[in-house]
């Protein structure tokens, strides 16, 4: 066991259905075996709401990476994939950045990606992807709901995260939801 406890555990889920993208994250911040905070915001909008991001891992590390990612988006004219690849390259090769312990999910109107410190930029095969300690539980539930129901993306994201919160001790049921509006009509509000 390490000498100093680290912040860890969370669940971030991205669900895409039709032309709607929803990111949902829980609010729990844990320090060792204790819950330090229950309503943290780990899902955010970037570039005037055109890009969503969610993070899992060490909080300060994640904030640093989100800031770097937003700078890459600005440098590459909001081209999500290019910004993600450039961040992954820098994260992997920079002496300071490669020590950061976090993962990011990012998405825009047409693409969702996972970015890791190993240099990975992963586009999911399906319409859902998740990170964090409860990520596999949320992803499994989301895939089942996508396959076997006609529920909308937000309902699927909330229900899948609810499943994860009932299984993973580092995931709670205080969700933050952000959605990119449908390109076909007026913006619908996210929670």
CA distance 179 to 169: 26
pLDDT digits (tens, 9 = 90+) for 157-188: 999 999 999 999 999 999 999 999 755 444 33
Instruction: State mean pLDDT over 139-145.
Output: 98
Residue 189 pLDDT greater than 50, yes or no: no
CA distance 122 to 46: 20
Q: Which CATH superfamily is domain 7-169 in?
A: Aminohydrolase, N-terminal nucleophile (Ntn) domain (3.60.20.10)
pLDDT score of 97:
85
CA distance 53 to 173: 19
Of residues 117, 126, 119, 121, the one with CA closest to residue 13: 126
pLDDT score of 16:
97
Of 6, 10, 93, 155, the active-site residue reads 10
Question: pTM above the 0.85 mark?
Answer: yes
Active site residue 53: no
Two tokens at 146? 């996508």
End-to-end alpha-carbon separation of the chain, Å?
A: 38
Two tokens at 135? 């990520």
Q: pLDDT tier at 8 (50, 70, 90 boundaries)?
A: low
pLDDT digits (tens, 9 = 90+) for 25-73: 999 988 878 888 899 999 999 999 999 999 998 888 889 999 999 999 9
Which SS3 state, helix, strand or coil, does residue 68 take? helix
Domain segments of the chain as ranges:
7-169
Two tokens at 127? 């319409």
Residue with tokens 């899948």: 160
Q: Could you tell me the sign of the dihedral formed by the alpha carbons of 115, 120, 121, 125, in that order? A: negative
pLDDT score of 70:
97
Q: Which residues contact 90 (CB under 8 A, 6 or more apart)?
A: 68, 97
């Amino acid at each position: 066991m390490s000498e100093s406890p680290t912040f860890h555990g969370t669940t971030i889920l991205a669900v895409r259905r039709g032309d709607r993208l929803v990111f949902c994250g829980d609010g729990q911040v844990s320090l060792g075996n204790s819950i330090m905070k229950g309503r943290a915001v780990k899902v955010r909008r970037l570039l005037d709401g055109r890009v969503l991001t969610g993070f899992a891992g060490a909080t300060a590390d994640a904030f640093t990476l989100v800031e770097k990612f937003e700078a890459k988006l600005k440098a590459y004219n909001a081209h999500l994939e290019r910004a993600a690849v450039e961040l992954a390259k820098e994260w992997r090769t920079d002496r300071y950045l490669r020590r950061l312990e976090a993962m990011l999910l990012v998405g825009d109107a047409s693409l969702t990606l996972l970015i890791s410190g190993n240099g990975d930029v992963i586009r999911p095969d399906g319409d859902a992807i998740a990170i964090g300690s409860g990520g596999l539980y949320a992803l499994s539930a989301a895939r089942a709901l996508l396959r076997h129901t006609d529920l909308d993306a937000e309902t699927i994201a909330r229900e899948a995260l609810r499943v994860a919160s009932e299984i993973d001790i580092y995931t709670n049921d205080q969700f933050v939801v952000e959605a990119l509006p449908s390109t076909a009509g007026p913006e619908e509000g996210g929670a």
